[in-house]
Amino acid sequence: MKNFLIIVLCFFGTYTFAQSTISGTIVDQFKNPIPGANILIAGTSIGATTDFDGKYEFTTQLSGSQELKVSFIGYFSQTKKISLTGNTTVNFILVESVESLDDVVLTATSAKRSQKETPLSITSFGAKQLSQKNTSSQADILKSVPGITTENGGGEVASNVFVRGLPSGGQFQFNPLQIDGMPVLSTFGLNSSAHDVYFRSDIGMKSLEFVRGGSSVLYGVGSVAGIINYTSETGSANSKNILKIETGTKSHNKAQFLSSGSVGGEDSNLFYAFSGSYRYDEGPIETGLPTEGYQFRGNIKKVTDNGSITVSGQYIDDQVQFFLPYPLEGGTRNRPIGNDGKKIMTLQTAAASGISYKTPNGIYSSPIEDGVSTKGGYIMVNFLHNFNEDLKLDAKIRTSKYAHQFNLFLDGSGIGGAKVVETQAEYLAQRGLSSGTFTYLNGEPLAANARLFENRILDRDRPISEMVSEIKLTKTAGNHTITGGTFMSRSEAGDFNVITSYLGEYNDQPQLINLSGYTKNGVTNRGAGYTNRNIKSNKTAIFLTDEIKLDKWNFDIGLRYETVSGRIENEKSASQIADNTGISQLDNVVWGTGEFQKGNVSADDFAVALAGLYKVNNNLSVYGNVSSGYFFPELRSVKFDALGKTASYKPEKIKQAEVGLKYGAEKFSGTLATYLVALKDRRSVNFINNPNGPGLIEEIKVLNTSSVGVEATANYKLSDAFSVNGGLTLQKHEVTKSESNPALEGNKLVRQPNFMNKLGLAYEKASIDGNIDYGFAGDKYANDANTIKLDGYGVIDLNFGYTMSVGKNDETVRLGFQSFNLFNSEGITEGSPRLGDNQTDEEFFVGRPIMPRTVLFSATFKF
């Protein structure tokens, strides 16, 4: 015991030698202080971070000639030689940069090091870059990240984000979305809502990092493919106020603000930052349904003698419409022409918003007009404390609660054998009707040659709440930065789903149609489907990492162990008589019986990550990483057998490896890497049409997949004003094993292209800035059977701005122009998820086109 105490004291103890104090100030070229910049003595982990006035100070026992290096996201790093013979003052002026790989990494690491020194693939954006992107959709922000395919065909939320080498997970399954180091939600699979429905990016974001593979599987919530982490602005002694106003096509109007500063006088150590937005529009595609909402975020930070305490929060109240695939022209797959001779942009309609009917529990009114509706928020507290120069605590705790609905229009009747678009004669014959009269709801007869489109609305009520915490203790000992920590979460969610069928004309934003003796108020089937779940999840993880920094080598080693338990309550449903219209499919509804199947599942697993980097010289590094991780299956996919017992619940396994080069100099930076991804026992959950009726059933496939690829990125500063950037990903992927259908083996992964590239040109000089970006995703398949091929497509975005002074003290206004899909390019992002492997090319093809061109004009005031 005595020896053990001696070892502990030696590890955590501190010693007193002759020390030098290094201090100074770091500002940008406009003399504005840069808070959060990192200063290190080269070749060591000794350094500090600037405070809110851009000031820093630290002590060291080193002596003699040393190099002091400073770096910050979006700026060129600088190095100055110093002589440590006593107290020293060193000031820096940083210059904004094209990506030079000298940005300090904030995500999935505990040591202060640049991208060039980190053995992982990393992409980062600073506040200026984020402010120039379209913040309406995560897809629009993330599509410039190499190795990512994003789809915004669904609109502003529920972006499908596909990471290189992995199956079609979409909606942030494999890459958690974080704000300030904490996941938006800690558990995917309590329902199928994407995590971006719970928050909106705004001008209060300071930076964005996407860290892929490697140690990203270890920290915090853990990951499979990587972590997307936003960092919020915090206040400083210099106040900052930004107001951005936008107007654009489809009656788009949006206002955003950011205000930050100190509370009190010059010597105050209390700082604030608040941001928010309000928007109203008619959607990227007009539906006649509301698209409106607001969000407020903020933080208050108390700087202590040895760290800080930050309280942050968010409140959101937002409604937006979500777009699923719909019937396009067969063959060309262009947007179709309706009965009225006009192009159909959407078959979603406000006419369906008044649907209501009797059920065993009373009158049910569809909330379809609310679309994707989210109301609620979170409160988080972050404690940072330095016990001494070598021992630091980072503890976060957050509670969140959201009332959330994800209501949507499906892509057809779901009736087996029925065409997705039908003539009136076909409609009658398919339903076994000998005759009938088709009219609008006001009694006006439908033209005899008018086609019909029967569709379903799926109403989904999904409240969710959770408590999440993470505690990390970091010890610096010589060349080692050792971090031990724990992550815990408890989540509860409901998932209530009702399907209703209705009949409409085949026009843009169609009117509802009645068929005599078969419908009422356009409704063809009441309560066509019903599910109701309550799910609870508990997670506990511990992790230990060591980041080793040597003269030429950097190594990362880490382990993670995690346990998860879940309780699932599924309500049974049955067809029940609820009305007496005399029409069978209206009088009988599928509804809950009030009896629940209940069960518990649990699982645990380990993750390990190893990585190394060799610094060939100041500009060139060679790196490699390998990791073995896991992914717990979605709790909503847990099934019960005939005896009411839960089916097997075991983790999915993932192995990743990457080897590459990183080069960063003043004018050029780039990366080149090859990677391997293998996923075992992947439980793919899809909602497909029920062959026995108009409802949906869950289809679960267990697959093994494998991918290999090459990825390259480049940034080059052509002149003081012009710079170019680009990325290229080539990959080969396949299904290596399918338990239920061996015929799928050898097929390509769903919605993963073999080829992706990004290319951008940027200009910035004096008062003018602008950039034009091109992104291309190659051919891909819409289903596991590989029977539906989707052609590749490219999209060009344009952003331009002119900044001028409008007052004293560097007060400015930037007048901006922005266009997504500048040339109104066409392409299909997916086929019909409801038809799955049964989809074929017919007279009408069910698919989801990319969004049409949008144009925005903005004015951004800084004062």
Note the pLDDT tens digit of each residue in 378-412.
Answer: 999 999 999 988 999 999 999 999 999 999 999 99
Q: HSE, CB side, 13 Å, CA atoms: give it for residue 757.
A: 11
Residue 616: which pLDDT band, with cuts at 50, 70 and 90?
Answer: very high
pLDDT at res. 366:
97
Question: Do 788 and 842 contact (CB within 8 A), yes or no?
Answer: no
Collect all residues with Cβ–Cβ distance below 8 Å to 703 and sequence separation of at least 6: 167, 679, 682, 684, 735, 737, 738, 739, 744, 784
How confident is the model over 730-750, as a mean pLDDT?
A: 94
pLDDT of 827 over the 90 cut: yes
In this predicted model, what pLDDT tens digit does every residue of 228-251 receive, in sequence order? 889 999 988 888 899 999 999 988
pLDDT at res. 218:
77
Nearest to 835 by CA among 763, 784, 765: 784
Question: Distance (Å, rounded) from C-alpha 726 to C-alpha 720?
Answer: 19
pLDDT at res. 299:
97
pLDDT at res. 9:
39
Identify the weakest region by mean pLDDT among 112-126, 288-302, 359-373: 112-126
Q: Name residue 592's amino acid.
A: G
Nearest to 176 by CA among 230, 106, 113: 230
Nearest to 364 by CA among 456, 453, 497: 497
Question: Do 187 and 491 contact (CB within 8 A), yes or no?
Answer: yes
pLDDT of 810 over the 90 cut: no
- Most confident of the following: 32-36, 50-54, 785-789: 785-789
pLDDT at res. 11:
38
Question: Distance (Å, rounded) from C-alpha 58 to C-alpha 805?
Answer: 38
Between these two residues, 150 and 418, which has the higher pLDDT value? 418
In this predicted model, what pLDDT tens digit does every residue of 437-470 receive, in sequence order? 999 999 999 999 999 999 999 999 999 999 999 9
pLDDT of 484 over the 50 cut: yes
pLDDT at res. 157:
83
Please list, residue by residue across 764-776, b when 16 or more beta carbons sit within 10 angstroms of its beta carbon and e when fewer do. beeeebbbbbebb
Question: Distance (Å, rounded) from C-alpha 195 to C-alpha 207?
Answer: 19
Residue 210 has a CB neighbour count (10 Å cut-off) of 24
Residue 616 has a CB neighbour count (10 Å cut-off) of 12
Between these two residues, 144 and 574, which has the higher pLDDT value? 574
Q: CA end-to-end span of the chain, whole Å? A: 62
Q: What is the dihedral of CA 341, 347, 353, 354, to 10 degrees?
A: 50
Burial class (CB in 10 A: 0-12, 13-18, 19+), 627: buried
In this predicted model, what pLDDT tens digit does every residue of 211-221 receive, in sequence order? 877 666 677 77
pLDDT of 16 over the 60 cut: no
Bridge-based pairing of strands 652-664 and 668-689 is antiparallel
pLDDT at res. 494:
96
pLDDT of 135 over the 70 cut: no
Token readout for 257 is: 């603000």
Q: What whole-number percentage of the chain has pLDDT above 90?
A: 60
pLDDT at res. 6:
43
Q: DSSP labels for 526-547? A: EEEEEEEEEEEEEEEEEEEEEE
pLDDT at res. 861:
94
In this predicted model, what pLDDT tens digit does every residue of 178-199 receive, in sequence order? 899 898 988 777 888 888 899 8
Identify the weakest region by mean pLDDT among 160-169, 187-196, 279-288, 522-531: 160-169
**Cα separations in angstroms, 737 against 167, 702, 744, 840:** 13, 8, 8, 24
In this predicted model, what pLDDT tens digit does every residue of 650-695 receive, in sequence order? 898 999 999 999 998 878 999 999 999 999 988 888 888 888 888 8
* Residue whose tokens read 């016990």: 387
pLDDT at res. 2:
46
Q: In the 8-state DSSP scheme, what is residue 750?
A: B
How confident is the model over 301-316, as a mean pLDDT?
A: 94
Question: Distance (Å, rounded) from C-alpha 125 to C-alpha 148?
Answer: 15
Q: DSSP labels for 618-647? A: SSEEEEEEEEEEEEPPPGGG--B-TTSPBP
Token readout for 794 is: 């490219």
Token readout for 142 is: 């993330």
Question: Distance (Å, rounded) from C-alpha 313 to C-alpha 636?
Answer: 29
**Cα separations in angstroms, 642 against 449, 565, 647, 740:** 49, 22, 10, 20
Residue 153: which pLDDT band, with cuts at 50, 70 and 90?
Answer: confident
Q: DSSP labels for 721-736? A: SEEEEEEEEEEEEEEE
Token readout for 560 is: 């993670």
Nearest to 279 by CA among 288, 290, 270: 290
Q: Name residue 637's amino acid.
A: S
Token readout for 480 is: 């080692």
Question: Distance (Å, rounded) from C-alpha 510 to C-alpha 453?
Answer: 9
Question: Distance (Å, rounded) from C-alpha 270 to C-alpha 238?
Answer: 12
Residue 10: which pLDDT band, with cuts at 50, 70 and 90?
Answer: very low
Burial class (CB in 10 A: 0-12, 13-18, 19+), 401: middle
Residue 762: which pLDDT band, with cuts at 50, 70 and 90?
Answer: very high
In this predicted model, what pLDDT tens digit does every residue of 708-725 receive, in sequence order? 999 999 999 999 899 999
Neighbouring-strand partners of residue 20: 60
In this predicted model, what pLDDT tens digit does every residue of 50-99 receive, in sequence order? 875 788 888 888 888 888 888 776 677 788 888 887 788 899 988 766 55
Tell me what the pLDDT averaged over the chain comes to.
Answer: 88
pLDDT at res. 158:
81
pLDDT at res. 645:
79
How confident is the model over 804-832, as a mean pLDDT?
A: 90
pLDDT at res. 825:
92
Backbone angles phi, psi at 29, to 5 degrees: -70, -10
Q: What is the dihedral of CA 320, 325, 330, 336, to 10 degrees?
A: -20
Backbone angles phi, psi at 837, to 5 degrees: -70, -10
